[in-house]
Chains A and B, each alone.
Chain A
Amino acid sequence: MTMTVAERAALLSRVTLFAGLPEASLQALAELAGEAEFGDGDAIVLQGQVGTGLFVIVAGAARVVRGGEELDRLGPGDYLGELAVIDRMPRMASVFAVGPTTCLALASWDLFRRVDGDPELVHSLLRGLALRVRHLSEHHSH
């Protein structure tokens, strides 16, 4: 699968982590993103490894596994690997492709370079993670 920059930007605009990002920022991210193909059962990220990339699923599916237990299933538009990219600490879970899966991959060094001159990008990441923190506390209370 080869996507144009415009197609990548359109896909990124639908990811909650990048919601509301101005067109120019999306475009710049889309230009930095690479496409990565995974076969059934391939590891997209591995628990315990230091992360160097953030992935957005374009097509296919993935399962999130920690300590042998499946925690979640992901599909097109879902993202993974964002925490390790921000803090450069080891991954908390592994994610494996289910069937042939295509992802957009953003390298941490590219993302960091963008972050410096693109406060809107940091703002959208902050908002995306705030949403996750809120979901955590809601799940906790119900």
Chain B
Amino acid sequence: MAGTEELIDELSDLALFADLARPELAGVAHTLEEEWYADGQRILREGFSGTGFYILLEGEVAVRIEGQERARLRRGAFFGEAAILLGEPPGADVVAAGRVRVVHVAGPALHEFLMRHPNVMFRMLQEQTRRLRSANRWAR
């Protein structure tokens, strides 16, 4: 378990938090809960409720839809926000590939977290845009 100062240092390296000054980062670090997952453990479960917004700090996760791997996420990646924003169960399984460390915001607390940190939300918006572009397909 990292101390708060170490966690702030770690968060400051991530693109998601690049716009935050240290005092705001300290506030973020206090809000986030740290969790560890073992290899093969599911962090999010496709179609099941009980959600959170997760930011990956160490290790790698596999994103699987109907059992099929669609993507690998690494340090700095985030997931779980779509289900919360849309009020729907997660659209994919997210499974630890090796030992994984994340920080997370519980589903019900996400709206307040985002309202408090609009710069983080804007970084998330840019990442969504990147995902839509890289899909390179037209969908409404």
Q: Give the B-binding residues of A (Cβ under 8 A).
A: 64, 66, 71-72, 78, 83, 86-87, 89, 92-93, 115-116, 119-120, 122-123, 125-127, 129-141
Contacts and interface: CB of A to CB of B under 8 A. Distances in A.
B138 A119 contact: no
B21 interface: no
Interface string B43-83: 00000000000000000000001100010000000000110
A123 B85 CA distance: 8
Interface residues on B, range: 20 to 34
Interface of B: 65-66, 70, 81-82, 85-86, 88, 91-92, 111, 114-115, 118, 121-122, 124-126, 128-133, 135-140
Nearest to B115: A119
Query: Would you call the interface of chain B mostly helix, strand, loop, or mixed?
Result: helix
Nearest to B137: A136
Query: Would you call the interface of chain A mostly helix, strand, loop, or mixed?
Result: helix
Nearest to B122: A122
Contacts of A137: 65, 70, 91-92
B130 A87 contact: yes
